[in-house]
Structure 1
Amino acid sequence: MTPLLLPAGPPESEAELLTRARLLAGLTLSEVAEQVGIVQPRDLKRDKGWVGMLLETALGASAGSKPEQDFAHLGVELKTIPIDSQGKPLETTFVCVAPLTGNSGLTWQRSHLRHKLSRVLWIPVEGERTLPLATRRIGSPLLWSPNAEEEAELRRDWEELMDMIVLGEVEQITARHGEVLQIRPKAANSRALTAGTGKDGQPIMTLPRGFYLKKRFTAALLARHFLL
């Protein structure tokens, strides 16, 4: 196998980042793992974030686990998206943790969610469980910013969900709330609790929550740009 010869260090521009991502298109996960020196797990049961971490490393991302964009110096977030043989997303996409306290005066314009989604490098990856992890191929990248319609949809859902959190209704939020965005518990286990607000404004302990893009949003986005 010919080495990829990806440049070392973070990319210096969006164009360079996109060029690097295009070099990965068509390669298998095992080919990339071998070239960047990352051990590949047998499956993703215990290593759910491994594909994202692999591509971050290959592309020279700098954020790691810090709460900022993966390519903060470029203002670009990296999102891998597992797809089926028709190019449709297989699962919802985690964006960021939902803030459960200290939200008075927070607006959509200043929200962490909007900041994270302002510029996204989407990389589709074959994700069907029948395919061995090693042979799954990386797809063509897409550098995306929400258009006016997409931003309006996201803002509507964000405002509705944040209203519920502020009004102490966090425990009533289900994955069915929201047209394109949902809030779901995001914790390693049911003992990992965080501070929240109850119905009468009292402090409560509850599971951490995360914002996720629903499949219908990402499916439409991929279909439009890749003409599926």
Structure 2
Amino acid sequence: MEKPFFIKEKQNFTLYKANCIDFLGQLPENSVDMIFADPPYFLSSGSFTCQSGKMVSVKKAEWDLSNGTTENFNFHRTWIEACKKILKPNGTIWISGTYHSIYQCGFALQFHNFHILNDIAWFKPNASPNLSCRFFTASHETLIWARKDKNAKHTFHYEGMKNGRFPGDEFKKPNLQMRSVWSVNTPKPAEKKFGKHPTQKPLELLKRIILVSTNPGDTVLDPFTGSSTTGLMAYATGRKFIGIDIEEQYLDLSVKRFEALKKNTPNNENKSKQQTSNSINKNITRFEATRLLQETIGKDLRELAEENGIIVFKDGKLNKGWAGLTLEKALGIGNNSRQTSDGDSWELKLVPLVKKDEAWRVKETMAITMINPDDVLEKPFEESHLFQKMKKMIICGRERKDKEESSSRLLYVNSFDLVSSRNHWNQIKKDYELVRNTIKTEGFDSLTGRMGKFIQPRTKGSGHGSKTRAFYARVSFVEIILGIQET
């Protein structure tokens, strides 16, 4: 096995100086969850382009010189074949390119029996002009997203893309499906402070790709890592990263960028002191809260608890509400403070996750609200406390490794809107009406946890002799709204 050029084991960030075709053969088969590749475009020539307002030669490097159509295609076919061997059956690959290369890459994917999921048009609002004035201005690149095994189930965080916040993307409308045209500016000057790579991608683009198609803890690989934008976002979102490149100068640049990011990660000492001293903000919107929580994915909630003075164990006993209180403190909201200045009322829920058969699963049902029999009998579903609690939610999932809470990473953050999920609305209404009719005809004590498809009435408190009942979301339904399981 090749010796790493740079490795940070604790942060799961590794770089190798190697030819990716030679190196990929050294990795175990079926070991990588997602690959992002930005291969050579083979467009370097004697022509000119515009860069930062100046006319410059189109020669990025020796590796970008074309060897002719046949040899170029053989290169793409070879590295894509090597990538397929190391991808897990449900793993996916993203390939970025212009018309100089992307069609060959697409054909190579089909040649190796990948299942193409989408092609994305990455629109660049601030693209450089065309100097010749004889062609359309090139203002987009194409991204191909493909799955290794046609019959496998790939990762796709639908709710996160639908309800997430994407500032600057003029095509993404709030609470509507993410389309296949993305508006993302080219890299900001701050992203090039240590130097730049000739085909550097913006952090925002890789953030979107990684969040939608991987889970925390997954392994992400970039065979043409360059200045490691992929790796920076993998680290920032709690993924493992392997980067490969043949150019030492760009690996050095990658290391500088990584060290700077690590120093400024929200968990560092200076940042934590700043967060602790911030005044409580009770007017945070759900969009802003979702964004802040998504930036916390991959972080250990125990560290956040310590920063905010929250006790996890006291006298050997677990403080059961510590994790939820930690998220509330991190957002700067008080307990049950949900009303925002723009009238946006929302509910924050956190559920524990456990690893089963290499996949994250919800550990237990999720309590929603107590059942007041008189209130249920009086109010139809649309006026009920259950409806108000579920109307707008942020659902988070955290790691529950053991009883000692030895690790508690935040793994999932999703928004859920009952009002825009008609099928869920109809079923939950049926579950509510079942409880309502049972109280009316058989009495409150006849309610049982066997009732309801999505929402069940269960005893709340110690033992089966408890007289109180609460509405709980079943595990299977929690996994759907959390984005772990399809509807």
Q: Where does residue 201 of structure 1 map in the other structure? A: none
The Cα of 1:75 is off from its aligned counterpart by: 0.7
Alignment partner for residue 301 of structure 2, among 29, 37, 40? 29
What is the TM-score of this pair, normalised by structure 2? 0.39
The Cα of 1:9 is off from its aligned counterpart by: 2.0
Cα separation, partners in 2 of 1:93 and 1:104, compared to 1, 3 Å: closer
Distance 1:102 1:155 in 2: 15
Is the CA contact (8 Å cut-off) linking 2:395 and 2:481 kept in structure 1?
no
Question: Residue deviations 1:122-154, cap 9 Å, x none?
Answer: 111012436x41421112311111200011111
The Cα of 1:101 is off from its aligned counterpart by: 2.2
Partner SS, residue 159 of structure 1: helix
Alignment partner for residue 163 of structure 1, among 427, 430, 437? 437
RMSD across aligned C-alpha pairs, in angstroms?
Answer: 2.8
Q: Where does residue 279 of structure 2 map in the other structure? A: 8
- State the AA in 1 paired with 2:350: T
The Cα of 1:17 is off from its aligned counterpart by: 1.1
The Cα of 1:191 is off from its aligned counterpart by: 8.5
Distance 1:175 1:104 in 2: 19
Q: Where does residue 53 of structure 1 map in the other structure? A: 325
Partner SS, residue 310 of structure 2: coil
Q: Where does residue 475 of structure 2 map in the other structure? A: 215
The count of corresponding residues between Structure 1 and Structure 2 is: 207
What is the TM-score of this pair, normalised by structure 1? 0.79
Q: Where does residue 202 of structure 1 map in the other structure? A: none
1:182 aligns with 2:449: no
Q: Where does residue 348 of structure 2 map in the other structure? A: 78
Larger deviation, residues 50-59 vs 119-128: 50-59
The Cα of 1:187 is off from its aligned counterpart by: 2.8
Alignment partner for residue 389 of structure 2, among 106, 116, 127? 116
Is the CA contact (8 Å cut-off) linking 1:29 and 1:134 kept in structure 2?
no
Larger Rg: 2
- State the AA in 2 paired with 1:8: S
Report the structure, 1 or 2, having the larger strand content: 2
The Cα of 1:31 is off from its aligned counterpart by: 0.9
Cα separation, partners in 2 of 1:99 and 1:153, compared to 1, 3 Å: same
Partner SS, residue 139 of structure 1: strand
Distance 2:398 2:470 in 1: 22
In structure 1, list runs of 5 or more residues that go unmatched.
193-206
Is the CA contact (8 Å cut-off) linking 1:24 and 1:32 kept in structure 2?
no
Is the CA contact (8 Å cut-off) linking 2:414 and 2:483 kept in structure 1?
no
Distance 2:484 2:464 in 1: 39
In structure 2, list runs of 5 or more residues that go unmatched.
1-266
Distance 1:176 1:70 in 2: 33
Distance 2:441 2:317 in 1: 36
- State the AA in 2 paired with 1:155: K
Q: Which has the higher contact order (CA 8 A, sep 6+)?
A: 1
Distance 1:82 1:44 in 2: 20
Partner SS, residue 412 of structure 2: coil
Partner SS, residue 87 of structure 1: strand
- State the AA in 2 paired with 1:219: E
